[in-house]
Chains A and B, each alone.
Chain A
Amino acid sequence: MSAGTQLHGYHGQYLWIDVTTGAWQFRRLPAEVLRNVLGGTGLAVHLLLKDRQSQVDPFDSAAAIVFSFSPLVGSPLTTSAKFSVVSRSPLTGRLNDSLASSGFAIAGKKVGADAIYITGRCSELSVLVIDDSGVRLEAAESLRGKTNSETQSALKQQFGAEYQFATIGPAGEMGVRFATISHDGRHAGRGGSGAVLGSRNLKAIAVQGSHRCTWAHPEQLIEYARDLSRRSFGPATAKYRELGTASNLLTFNRLNVLPTRNFQQGHFEGAEAVSPEAINMVREKTRASCAACTIGCEHLYSIQRPESQETVQVRLEYENLFALGPLCGIDDSGTILEASHLCDEYGIDTISAGGTIAFAMECAERGFLDHPWLRFGSKEAILNAIHRIIQPNDALGRMLAGGSRRMAQEIGHDTIRFAPQVKGLEIPGYDPRGLQMMALGFAVGTRGADHNRSGAYEIDFSEAVDRRNASVESITMAIETEDKAAIMDSLILCKFLRRVFDNFFAESAAMLKLVTGWNMTESEIRSAAVRIITMKKQFNIQSGWTPEEDTLPDRILRQPLPEDPESRLSSEKLQQLITAYNLARGWDADGWVPGDQTGIDAAEPS
């Protein structure tokens, strides 16, 4: 495959593939487009907007899913081996961008493209193979129903070590609306990109290539990368290296913002028992990292599988710990690790799985769902519920597979009041009543309630605001965290690196210059962030967004946290924050974007 223009850091083209016909071609990406949207999520949103994908049902064969790389992938910059997966979400109906790491990003970019754009539907379950000899589909019927690790090992055997694979588990094949795409134990987790891939009849994508991008200033880049790696060993990342994100659990519990039993409480009496501090005492732990990372935040615990007695390693992070633990009332670490393992293998987002099961437990306890075995705290119940999500003929499993919003609509009885979701995406482990800047971030998030596209919790955990009574004066700080995230997801760098930078936007400009040779200023990088966020919003508007979607569940807006009555958030208060946010973004008070700010040039060739 031939690469495109003489750009540094980019190939200047993306690979367009129609898996219905097997047709493929490289399509040019002009330098000015790349400068505007940088790469990763920014680039993918640009491609989807250009093709009016916002109006296509994500399960329709005409829908597209984009795997997008960045100018920094393949460079020596620490944590840069990441890729973004972007499509319309089958869970929310809105834009979904999720990121994953490691060798797939490096190998994927080496096929000679800055992004891989996939549309169409295969006639049978297939593997999409992209390598130096071209693009082809290979039958994958023998992989049907296989878990992620089974699929990855079968593909490694079949294709060899030079290939890297992105795979789906049985959940993606079955259209579970919060199915993930996995690579090497890492997941593009949220919003159901695995179901979009599954609906194309694609079990996996295999990539291998030899097209490297050049760097504009290789010597200075290596020097800079050395310094960044050195800084990444410092105290700013010690938490991730030594303890992992799971160490948030006890802090959040102490501050009464640990969502417990479907957000009925903010404090879990069993938190000590499931904390990483306690698990470390009784289980063997190892550490690992993504390719090209000097931080190494992965903390893996050994468990023995209940039936096979096989020992496996399970990655524990705050989000799977909270969602499959306190949120469902589970105080047994073995059960949480087994539940996490099942989600990883079946290819299910742990936050949405935990949120939906917790919601089902509350519905059952309140008599709205005829499954009396579904009880908070029941170890058997959570494991059984996860198994049922991938059972094709199980009525409860089919309900769970749609996520909590769809489930509430099916059950009725106004249960939507306590479905733990925003725009259909289940809320991560930060109780919005006690973290009100984060509440704003959840409400306005383009992909729904999300802790990776807004880092507003950083402001809640500072002296800049009263976290239980946030004011509109703090809005610009919340916006800054969103802007940072937009750049981190487009350049792409790991968010755990964020405290290493003194001036993130200026350093982003510096890194981009070393790789591409472009003289972008700090303010141009800031403008790119605003552009990307506006494009995401415009995708949502085109897909049918209305201002009423930017809200939080009724429970959050009506009930204070029982352990801390000062943690209360009214709908009026939230609306004030949202209005101030919209105006500060330059949108109208309701959040409509004036004019066409997609940056799409109608004359630009497809």
Chain B
Amino acid sequence: MKRQKDNPEVTVEFFGIVRARTGIAVKKMRGITLGDIIQQVSDDYPDFARDCADGFQLRTGFAANMNGAAFVTDSSTLLAEGDVVMLMSLDAGG
């Protein structure tokens, strides 16, 4: 259902710990909401599911950035065809 091919296709980019847990840098995925994407990544990558997410929600300390602009953590955020979703650790400092 969540991966249905009439759902918007988005590009998901992975950074930092999120990349380390999935082993991938970028992937095309389909989903209606941000939560759909997080759930699919969790289903496909158990290490991501363990450390970065709780089902369809990102854990504290992680965030998604939409199209290089706003940061979002709300899983119900709607996706549009062609969106770029960046998944990253919030801890940018150092």
Contact = CB atoms under 8 A, between A and B. Distances in A.
Contacts of A467: 71
A251 B15 contact: yes
B78 interface: no
A239 B69 contact: no
B57 interface: no
Contacts, number: 83
Interface string A235-254: 11011101111011011101
A468 B69 contact: yes
B73 A251 contact: no
Contacts of A458: 90-93
Size bracket of the A interface: 35 or more
B46 to A, nearest CB: 15
B64 to A, nearest CB: 9
B25 to A, nearest CB: 8
Interface in B75-94: 86, 88-94
A143 to B, nearest CB: 32
A250 B61 contact: no
A125 B69 CA distance: 54
A256 interface: yes
A254 B68 contact: yes
Residue among B52, B86, B94 with the most chain A CB within 10 A?
B94
A235 B19 CA distance: 14
Given A235-B59, A236-B61, A318 B94 contact: yes
A255 B65 contact: yes
B12 to A, nearest CB: 13
B63 A463 contact: yes
B92 A457 contact: yes
B71 A461 contact: yes
A251 B94 contact: no
A110 B89 CA distance: 39
A256 B68 contact: yes
Interface residues of B, number: 28
A407 to B, nearest CB: 27
A564 B68 CA distance: 10
Interface string B1-34: 0000000000001011101100000000000000
B68 A239 contact: no
Interface of B: 13, 15-17, 19-20, 51-52, 59-61, 63, 65, 68-74, 86, 88-94
Contact of A319 (B68, B69, B94): B94
A495 interface: yes
Contacts of B15: 247, 250-251, 254
A467 B15 CA distance: 19
Contact of A242 (B20, B70, B90, B93): B20
Contact of B93 (A243, A463, A495): A495
Contact of A462 (B68, B74, B86, B90): B90
B83 to A, nearest CB: 15
A184 interface: no
B90 A461 contact: yes
B14 to A, nearest CB: 10
21 contacts: A238-B51, A239-B17, A239-B91, A240-B91, A242-B20, A243-B16, A245-B94, A248-B93, A248-B94, A250-B15, A251-B15, A251-B86, A254-B13, A254-B68, A255-B65, A277-B19, A297-B94, A318-B94, A463-B70, A564-B68, A566-B69
A495 B94 CA distance: 8
A496 interface: yes
